[in-house]
Amino acid sequence: MPPKVSRKSELRAHIRSARRAMSAPVKSAADEALVDAVVSVVLRVRPTSVAAYVPMLSEPGGPRLVTALQEVAPRVLLPLLDDDLDLDWAVADGSYTAGRFGLIEPAGPRLGRAAVAAVELMFLPALAVSRSGMRLGQGGGSYDRVLPRVSAPTLVLLYPGEYGAAVPSEPHDHPVCGVLVGNEPDGYEEPHLHWTNGCAIAHHWHSEQSSANDGG
């Protein structure tokens, strides 16, 4: 009998395949729109520090994400993958080095794993997010270790079709607060910020940012 494939593994394989099938022009347009939406959120909230990530080729955000954040946020932290798959952090200063598993990491001094606790807004990657806020990552569990340290709003960037599906959860999984979903190809709508039911947001922050759809 072949080994049983978990629902998470099936969902990961499906989304990875769909991302690989995206044409370069469609992906580029979606990434540009997502970055513009990220900048819009940051300009409204005006956080003094933001945590983000350097997108891999298949991840939403594209090559402009970090530089766009640096233009509107005074301090941007980026992750470095440790041997135990937990994440350390360094300030984005335009210098990078090759990390494990093909990751691109900041080359500046390490600040320690707890540095992320001080950020006021966090953008993180995922393959999918449910309406309850459960996040499907790549399988290493890095952000499941990080999220308990973060009290700031946590927002995931996704492509169309990756938000709202049922995501299997386990005790170690931690929900996120919201998602920015890219626009459909040739669509007229801009990316939308959807709030999940995954975490409590300060009322004033939620009110200012709830111009799109609610995840409830």
Q: Bridge partners of 136?
A: 128
Model confidence at 2, pLDDT cuts 50, 70, 90, reads very low
| Side chain identity at residue 143, one-letter code | Y
Pairing of strands 192-195, 50-51: unpaired
pLDDT for the residue 158? 94
Which residue in this structure is represented by tokens 């470095």?
80
Closest among 174, 76, 171 to 122, alpha carbons compared: 76
pLDDT, tens digit, for every residue of 77-114? 999 999 999 999 999 999 999 988 888 899 999 999 99
pTM of the model: 0.88
The pair of three-digit structure tokens given for residue 21, joined into one six-digit string: 């099938």
State the alpha helices, DSSP H only, in the chain. Answer: 7-21, 24-45, 65-72, 142-146, 203-209
Q: What is the pLDDT of residue 214?
A: 46
* Interacting residues of 79 by C-beta distance below 8 A, sequence separation 6+: 51, 53, 87, 88, 89, 105, 142, 146
Alpha-carbon span 49 to 72, nearest angstrom: 10
Domain boundaries, the chain: 24-209
What is the spatial distance between Cα 151 and Cα 176, in angstroms, rounded to a whole number?
A: 11
Q: Give the CA dihedral 160, 205, 40, 167, nearest 10 degrees.
A: -20
Pick the CATH number of 24-209 from 3.40.50.2000, 3.30.413.10, 3.10.105.10, 3.40.50.10420: 3.40.50.10420
Nearest to 194 by CA among 169, 144, 160: 160
Higher pLDDT, 156 or 57: 156
Q: Where are the beta strands (DSSP E) in 2-93?
A: 50-51, 76-81, 87-91
pLDDT digits (tens, 9 = 90+) for 179-214: 998 766 555 456 778 888 877 765 445 555 554 444
Residue 57 has what pLDDT?
Answer: 85
pLDDT value at position 213?
A: 41
Q: What percent of the chain stands above pLDDT 90?
A: 60
209: part of which helix (H) or strand (E)? helix 203-209
Whether the CB-CB separation of 13 and 19 falls below 8 Å is answered with no
Q: What is the pLDDT of residues 15-29, one digit of tens each?
A: 999 999 999 998 998
